[in-house]
Chains A and B, each alone.
Chain A
Amino acid sequence: MSILISKDTRVLVQGITGYQGEFHTARMLEFGTRVVAGVTPGKGGTQVHGVPVFDTAAEAVQAAGATAACIFVPARFAKDAALEAIEARLDPVVVITEGVPVHDALQIVEFARRQQVHLVGPNCPGLTVPGQCKIGIMPNHLFAPGPVGVVSRSGTLTYEIVAALTREGIGQSAALGLGGDPVVGISFTEALRMFQDDPHTAAVILIGEIGGSAEEEAARFISAHVRKPVVGYIAGRTAPPGKRMGHAGAVISGTEGTAGSKIEALQAAGVAVATLPGEVAALARAVV
């Protein structure tokens, strides 16, 4: 067990018959993930890559023993799929879908909080525990098992940094993509708590970006509770205020959400913050 998932996690893919769902189900199976069921309403009784498809999440739990959910359904149906997964007490529920309306995300997050289900995303690449289980869309070949936990708001930048770690011989206990939207489930703070409690994690890499104050909250949490070394990188030093930089959540509002404020807060909490992404692996090397 690392954080959230393990080799015993039994994954349900919602939207398994869609283009993305089918493609990434194949990649997850190749990784070794136990994808035990799919759901596409109206396609119950069929199969995708040998995985049985059901009409509802409840049936998938009952018949196939699914314990976690990965959601690929289009944005306009994502809320319904997520509420269904949370109701069925799948845990974690990982929403890959990009473009989910924020009022839908607010309801998904609130319901997950009530049901005490871990929600990852929306608009995220998912999570990977190397050698055990991958839920989501991270490229399979980048990872190696090891002691470093990676948590990030971005997809590709995470792949870039994980690839550099693996190249340097630094394996990962888990890599977790929180999602690029303004309202997402698990935050940096919760991820840090899980990594702090995980005996297989020796150090944490936190990859943040402009927008919101999740990194500043993480810095406060690190000061108070994290005893493991943390290395950071914040993207968007050169981003102008008021512009959304690709991610819906990556926007500086007035004076809030700047890279400078996040870097300063993390440094004050004792985090080694890299100036360039290429320096992250070396900083990690120094602490593990």
Chain B
Amino acid sequence: MKLHEYQAKEMFARYAIPLQNGVVIERPQQVEGIALTYPLVLKAQVLVGGRGKAGGIKLAATPDEARRHAAAILGMQIKGEKVRRLVVAEAAEIGAEYYLAFTIDRPARRMGVIASAAGGIDIEEVARSTPDKIARGTVDPFFGFHPYQARQLGRRLGLGGSLLSDFVAVATALYRVCVSEDAELVEVNPLAVVTGRPFDAAGGPRLLAVDAKVIIDDNAVYRHSGLPKNEELTELEAAARVEGLSNVELDGDLAIIGNGAGLVMATLDMVAHFGGRPANFLDVGGGATTENMKQAIEIVVRKPGVRGLLINIFGGITRCDDIARGIVDARSPVDMVVRLTGTNEDEGRRILESAGIHAYVDPQEAAQRVVALVGHRA
């Protein structure tokens, strides 16, 4: 689950990571008499990336400007996501920008730390164009991430003096966030060198977490009671989750249901290979029941523009007779092609045939058939 910037920063604040003074607002009028010192920065709170380019981040030197920007940004759509909240913060005087993140290093099978002196821009772009500007490491989960390791990393970025101490404090705190909050990603970009507010200007340059990104591991949400409930799912994806099914909406017109993530992905690929356009990915999972199957069909055919349905079941733990009953009960309103094989296949076929539904054995034949039915190139 992705957190909004303001939610991530509330989390960072609990771990004493330095942040700008700011507030979250939901209505433009809330900028009136705001207890912050101008100039201010206004930032749209959306879960999609690229809000800056989309006009979701503005500077305001005066209350009048702040009002205008707040009115413009609140309610705007950024990549299909409506802006409901704004972070309004005291703009910082930013010098150099660094990048710092902890994220899963899949090949190392450890939490990885990534730091760069080329912050403020897309780290993937930095990794491609100037990989030598990135310092990486991995963390032994039983050993943890210690100040000396942060110091080594900071030195590789060329940091020294009080900025190095700041870096060590931020990096060790960020690792604590990562582990304690069950995050799969914690990122500060930019981690900026600022002089002056929110710090005392006499203290010299300091490091400030200007942006914050956190993704919480969905599998660990159950052990964190205070988490927000951010909904990144579409209505039909959420409806599937309520039933214990996994649904991902796509932009085609051919609904797809199968059992097992790999098999459903392969089914989408088959349909696309024969010229069809999948409308969704729905995995009923292992051991799906009659009711699961019925619900799955009812959910995917609700998507506007769906003209056909392909069901691809390979019964292992899942029983073909249970699946067949669900298919018959649901009565698909669109053209449907069923591929059914595996455990209790004969009984499953009998149930389908008594309802006038033919079951294919070969998934490729079934995919070709459904594509032909909805009138794509066969």
Same complex for A and B? Answer yes
B111 touches A106 (CB 8 A): yes
Complex: how many Å from CA A213 to CA B106? 8
Q: How far is the CA of A237 from the CA of B262 in the complex (A)?
A: 11
- Which residues of A198-235 have CB atoms within 8 Å of chain B's CB atoms? 207, 209-210, 212-214, 217, 233, 235
Are B265 and A214 in contact, CB atoms less than 8 angstroms apart?
Answer: no
Q: Could you say which residues of chain B place their CB within 8 Å of the CB of A247? A: 261-262
The interface stretch among A1-9, A56-64, A157-165, A264-272 is: A157-165
Q: Is the CB of A99 within 8 A of B106?
A: no
Given contacts A76-B223, A238-B269, A278-B362, contact A155 B260 (CB under 8 A): yes
Q: Which of A76, A103, A236 contacts B141 (CB 8 A)?
A: A103
CB distance from A243 to the nearest CB of B (A): 5
By the criterion CB–CB under 8 Å, are B106 and A157 in contact?
no
Contact pattern, B 223-249, Cβ under 8 Å of A = 1, otherwise 0: 100000000000000000000001010
A283 within 8 A of B: no
B314 sits at the interface (CB 8 A): yes
The interface bits of chain A over 80-117 (1 if a CB of B lies within 8 angstroms of the residue's CB, else 0) are 00000000000000000001111110110111000000
Contact with B along A247-281 (1 / 0, CB 8 A): 11110001110010000000000000001111000
Find the residue from A153, A184, A235 having the highest chain B CB count within 10 A. A235
With both chains docked as a complex, state the minimum distance between the C-beta of B154 and any C-beta of chain A, in angstroms.
24
Contact size range, A: 35 or more
Could you tell me the distance between the alpha carbons of A96 and B312 in the complex, rounded to whole angstroms? 23
Q: Is A139 an interface residue (CB 8 A)?
A: yes
* Shortest beta-carbon distance from A63 to chain B in Å: 30
Distance, CA A132 to CA B214, complexed state (A): 47
Q: Mark A122-139, 1 if CB is under 8 A from B, else 0.
A: 000000000000000111
Judge whether B283 is part of the interface by a CB distance below 8 angstroms.
yes
Q: Number of B residues contacting the other chain (C-beta, 8 Å)?
A: 51
| Contact present for B248 and A244 (CB under 8 Å) | yes
Asked if A52 CB lies within 8 Å of chain B CBs, one says no
Q: Is B24 on the interface with A (CB-CB < 8 A)?
A: no
Residues on B with beta carbons closer than 8 Å to the beta carbon of A107? 141-142
Interface pair B219/A235, CB less than 8 Å apart: no
When chains A and B are docked, how far (Å) is the Cα of A250 from the Cα of B261? 9
B175, chain A: closest CB distance, angstroms? 12
Question: In the complex, which of the residues B217, B246, B269, B272 contacts A101, with contact meaning CB atoms closer than 8 Å?
Answer: B217
Is B107's CB under 8 angstroms from A213's CB? yes
Contact yes or no, A217 B265, CB < 8 A: no
Which chain A residues (49-85) contact chain B, with CB distance < 8 Å? 75-76
Given A75-B219, A107-B141, A250-B261: A277 in contact with B106 (beta carbons within 8 A):
no
Residue from B107, B220, B223, B283 in contact with A102 in the complex, judged by beta carbons closer than 8 Å: B220
Q: How many A-B residue pairs have CB under 8 A?
A: 164
Within the complex, the shortest CB–CB distance from A46 to chain B, in Å, comes to 25
Inter-chain contact B283/A246, CB cutoff 8 Å: yes
Q: Contacts A107-B141, A137-B286 hold; do A182 and B106 have CB atoms under 8 A apart? A: yes
Cβ distance A150 to chain B, nearest Cβ, rounded Å: 13
- Cβ of A47 < 8 Å from any Cβ of B? no
CB neighbours (8 Å) of A101 from chain B are 182, 217, 219-220, 223
Give, as a whole number of angstroms, the nearest-CB distance from B289 to chain A. 13
Least CB distance, A73 to chain B, in whole angstroms = 15
B269 touches A276 (CB 8 A): yes
B313's nearest neighbour on chain A, judged by CB, is A156
Q: Is A41 engaged at the interface, CB distance under 8 Å to the other chain?
A: no
**Restricting to B260-292, which residues have a CB under 8 Å from any CB of A?**
260-266, 268-273, 278, 281, 283, 286
If A106-B109, A154-B262 are given as contacts, then 14 extra A-B residue pairs at C-beta distance below 8 Å, sorted by A number, are A102-B217, A102-B220, A139-B316, A139-B317, A155-B262, A156-B263, A157-B266, A180-B261, A210-B265, A214-B107, A237-B272, A238-B265, A246-B260, A277-B266
9 nearest CB pairs, A to B = A154-B262, A156-B260, A246-B261, A157-B262, A101-B220, A235-B265, A156-B263, A139-B316, A246-B283
21 pairs from A and B in contact (CB 8 Å cutoff) = A100-B219, A111-B142, A153-B262, A154-B260, A154-B262, A159-B316, A163-B342, A180-B262, A184-B109, A213-B106, A235-B266, A238-B271, A238-B272, A239-B268, A239-B281, A245-B264, A246-B261, A246-B283, A247-B261, A255-B124, A278-B364
